[in-house]
Amino acid sequence: MKFLDEAKVYVRSGNGGAGSSSFRREKFIEYGGPNGGDGGRGGDVVIECVDGLNTLIDYRFQQHFRASTGGHGMGKDRHGSNGDDVVLKVPAGTQVFDEDNETLLADFTRVGERVVLLKGGNGGWGNARFKTSTNQAPRRANPGLEGQEMTIWLRLKLIADAGLVGLPNAGKSTFLAAVSAARPKIADYPFTTLVPNLGVVRIDTRTFVLADIPGLIEGAHEGHGLGARFLGHVERCGALIHLIDGTQADVAEAYNVVRGEIEAYAEELADKPELVVLNKIDALDEDEREEKRKALAKTSRAKVHLISGVTGEGLEGLLRNVMDIVAAHRAEEKAEAEQGLLSEEEKKWKP
């Protein structure tokens, strides 16, 4: 299955059904009067977050969605049926933007969330609605209101607890394969990873979701390489794991390049907790490890973790640190969600 994280879609809600202009015609019943029914309401455009999806590939081959028109009213006070809604199913982490691709309309973070994006047009009134004491035989009936239409952008940002960032060939895919059951493509050439990958990491009976995105190069925020578009998939993460290839001549420069691209992309992403990791230490002797660790620590001003994705050295301690940060982030999100559920009066009340 191909990965698709952005799609442009045209949607239109249904028109309302027309009201009916009709009169009662029965034998032996004089002056039957108006009995035209109302038209039905047009279908809505609904976006729903569902389980079992992790890509927007469904919208690659179908980009137009129209809800059905409401049924027309008929004689004998028969009202038209409401039009069927059209439901766009999206995975968790999907954002809906207006046609300008900047105005956020909806953000789906939990399965089951449902938003009515466009309402269908109201059905028209039949002539029975217009009967009065002075106009007992109205011949007036309303047409249904037209539906609404718009073009939207669907943009997927993967829901993950931690994200892997680094230059191409820093060992991100090897790291993901070593700590989870994910099987990303691994090779000895740059840009082996072309799409984001997810893996579930288990450490000390606790689990978190880890996201691996394609490598960044200098100028990625300007579109160089694969660009910085995939950084959106780690925006929701609680922690960033910054992998640096220990076999490089200048590990400090490698750190600065990626860090610069992250800061150029978004300030919120740059402020996330970051774990600096020197990878591929199995290819270094003790003196080289210490020399590059000091150089990296001086540049990043943070603790440097030494690991090897191939041999597994140092992975357990690193994963425990990541899990602690993720747990704190989850607790903070839970507290914010509970606080948001309180009404304004409850927030003001004090014992």
For residue 107, pLDDT over 70 is answered with yes
Question: Is residue 11 domain-shared with residue 120, that is, in the same domain?
Answer: yes
Q: Kindly state whether residue 75 falls inside one of the protein's structural domains.
A: yes
Give the structural domain span for 169. Answer: 162-338
How confident is the model over 127-149, as pLDDT tens digits?
999 999 899 889 999 999 999 99
Return the number of other C-beta atoms located less than 10 Å from residue 185's C-beta: 11
Instruction: Give percent of the chain above pLDDT 70.
Output: 87
Is the same domain home to 124 and 270?
no
State the pLDDT at residue 221: 54
List, in sequence order, every beta strand (DSSP E) within the chain: 6-12, 45-49, 64-66, 86-90, 94-97, 104-107, 114-118, 149-156, 162-165, 197-203, 206-212, 239-245, 274-279, 304-306
Structural domain includes residue 328: yes
Could you say which of 106, 131, 156 is where a domain stops?
156
Residue pLDDT, tens place only, 264-310: 877 888 888 888 989 888 888 888 888 888 988 888 888 888 988 88
Residues pairing with 151 in the sheet: 10
- How far apart CA 35 and CA 32 sit, in angstroms, is 8
201 within some domain: yes
CATH number at residue 294: 3.40.50.300
**How high is the mean pLDDT of the chain?**
84
Q: Yes or no: say if 160 and 234 are a contact pair by the CB < 8 Å rule.
A: yes
Q: Which two tokens stand for residue 46?
A: 């609904």
* Cβ proximity of 275 and 321 under 8 Å: yes
Q: What is the pLDDT of residue 151?
A: 95
Q: Choose the weakest-confidence range: 198-202, 219-223, 312-316.
A: 219-223
Tally of domains in the chain: 2
Please give the average per-residue pLDDT across 62-81, as a whole number: 93
If asked whether residues 206 and 123 sit together in one domain, one would say no
Please indicate, yes or no, whether residues 311 and 168 belong to a single structural domain of this protein.
Answer: yes
CB 198 within 8 A of CB 161: no
pLDDT for 220 equals 57
Average pLDDT of span 33-48:
94
For residues 275, 217, 167 and 4, what is the CA-based torsion angle, rounded to 10 degrees? 90
The one-letter code for the residue type at 12 is R
Query: In this predicted structure, what is the pLDDT of residue 15?
Result: 95
Q: Are residues 219 and 236 in the same domain?
A: yes
CB burial readout 27-57, b (16+ within 10 A) else e: eeeeeeebbbbbbbbbbbbbbebeeebbbbe
* pTM across the whole model: 0.73
137 and 177 fall within a common domain = no
Who wins on pLDDT, 259 or 16?
16
In this structure, the answer to whether residues 212 and 313 fall within a common structural domain is yes
Domain presence at residue 344: no
27 and 69: one domain? Answer: yes
CATH of the domain at 39: 2.70.210.12
Residues 99 and 170 in one domain: no
Do 93 and 39 touch, CB atoms closer than 8 A? no
**Statement to judge: residues 70 and 214 lie in one domain:** no
Compare 26 and 193 and report the one with higher pLDDT.
Answer: 26
**348 inside domain:** no
What is the structure's pLDDT at 101?
Answer: 85
Q: How far apart are the first and last CA of the chain?
A: 57
For the chain, the C-alpha Rg in angstroms (whole number) is 29
Q: Are residues 147 and 244 part of one domain?
A: no
Residues 310, 170 share a domain: yes
Retrieve residue 319's tokens: 């994963």
